[in-house]
Amino acid sequence: MTTSHRLSVLYVDDDDDIRHIVTLALSLDPSVELRAFDRGEEALSAAGSDDWRPDIAMLDVMMPGISGPKLMKALQALPDFATVPFVFLTARARLADIEEYKAAGAADVILKPFDPLTLAQRLDEIARVANQS
């Protein structure tokens, strides 16, 4: 299912296999524009150097260097990212972890394994709900 409008997504995950699956899944929807990075530092550098602003950002939680939660805070400090909703993609599925991510400012959490065929639609729905708040 395609989103009804253009959806730009920033995605950061150090796992090559998961990043490949997400990239493939989102490429199935022609209305999705994806910028994927394998390191938080790389994404932060790119975000600070151009005027592109995603509709939503999806971050892996556990990454070497800068973790997903730390990257979210660093990106939120940038003027162009202050209102971007953030989603964590993680295998850490404990309820306490999910509540902690949301309390820290995440709009939602997507658990691994996820359904690649509905990922674009799910991100679009999260972005729409976050932008209505």
Whether 91 is in a domain gets the answer yes
- Edge-to-edge strands of the sheet including 86-90? 32-37, 7-12, 56-60, 86-90, 108-111
Residue 2 placed within a domain? no
CATH of the domain at 79: 3.40.50.2300
* Domains in the chain, number: 1
115 is a domain residue: yes
Q: For every one of its 133 residues, what pLDDT tens digit does the chain have, with 9 covering 90 and above? A: 555 579 999 999 999 999 999 999 999 999 999 999 999 999 999 998 877 899 999 999 999 999 999 999 999 999 989 999 999 999 877 999 999 999 999 999 999 999 999 999 999 999 999 988 7
Would the pTM of this model clear 0.85, i.e. be above it? yes
Range of the domain at 41: 7-132
The answer to whether position 70 is within a domain reads yes
- Residue 90 counted as domain residue: yes
Query: Would residue 1 count as lying in a domain?
Result: no
Distance CA 16, CA 13 (A): 8
d(CA 40, CA 21) in angstroms, rounded, equals 19
In 1-133, beta strands by DSSP E: 7-12, 32-37, 56-60, 86-90, 108-111
For residue 56, tell me if it sits in a domain: yes
